[in-house]
Amino acid sequence: MNPIGEEKYFKIKKEIGKYESESRLAHTCSVFEECKRLADMYGLDENDRDKLCTAALLHDITKDISGAKQIELCKKYGLRSPENAKEPMPTIHQDTGAYFAREIFGEEIVDDVVFGAMSAHTTGKEDMSNIDKLLFVADYIEPTRKYNSCIAMREYLYKECGKINKNDKAALYRLLNKAVIDIIGYTVTFLTEKRRNIDCRMILAWNSLL
């Protein structure tokens, strides 16, 4: 990691500590470390690695904000507001977070690539970029996640990646696509069993990847 990048990440971590609880910040830092590992596994160049790691640090910046405040942010940024302020859709933070982070840090840091990855890290979206997919997966498999499906996906991904030649990019990204599809499948099954709302972007991501 280049020194300029490390200095930027340090400043971002310091700033997001104002908005995230201690446990949330621990998760954020774990996603950041997971993204660095995935960047190595997938042989990302310095530019893509930086965008992925930046999005990782910022992805949950509004996650701990109350439902009422989330609605205020939705109105401010022209987003569709959740109907229930007490229990807003659990995916809304990916949208408010992308806009809020851009407002705080500027477009130089939260460029379109970082913005796009942040705004799809929970649901996915149609025609995801590789950066989008890597953040989506990292958020699910990072080590503080203790759900059986998260642990199983992490073990599977690392095991299968170990079998692939690092120069075989096509095979690596086929595996990444499969991981995203499987994670969406796990999530939709869970939400269906709990009779909870499913964000339509998750279905669009599923169909697009298939």
pTM of the predicted model as reported, rounded to 2 decimal places: 0.95
Domains of the chain, with CATH numbers? Answer: 3-209 (1.10.3210.10)
Q: Which of 127, 119, 105, 135 lies closest to 38 in space, CA to CA? A: 135
Q: Which of 151, 209, 201, 144 lies closest to 180 in space, CA to CA? A: 209
Angle at 122 between CA 67 and CA 8, to 5 degrees: 90
- Cα–Cα dist 82/97, whole Å: 15
| Per-run averaged pLDDT (10 residues), the chain, 210 residues | 77 95 97 97 96 98 92 93 69 96 97 98 97 98 95 96 94 97 96 92 95
pLDDT of residue 93: 95
